[in-house]
Amino acid sequence: SHLFSLGMTLLYAAEYNGEPGQQICSELRELFGCMTSEHLDTRPDLESIITQCEEELCGKSSQEICCGIGGFVAPFTPAPGKN
């Protein structure tokens, strides 16, 4: 169930936090699809996921990718009177 949750989180982040019109590559879409499969026996193991993600990063650090995604998220604004 953890891989399913991770797959859904990554898919959401890639689809909804990127630049408008930007598509995620077919390899990652396929990986996220496998991770979120309803059939446990078809989900890849964690080591396979890590290996494929490292290959897809093409030399970029995961920190660069996360910061790029985070740059599209609206900044946190505390509720009035909660400072």
Residue 7 · residue 49 · CB < 8 Å: no
Average pLDDT of the residues in 26-43: 86
**pTM given for the model:** 0.57
Average pLDDT of the residues in 18-41: 80
Interaxial angle between packed helices 26-35 and 2-16, expressed in degrees from 0 to 180 and rounded to the nearest 10: 150
Amino acid letter, 7: G
* Predicted pLDDT of residue 40: 87
pLDDT > 60? residue 35: yes
User: How buried is residue 70: exposed, middle or buried, by Cβ count under 10 Å (0-12/13-18/19+)?
Assistant: exposed
Q: How high does pLDDT run on average in the chain?
A: 75
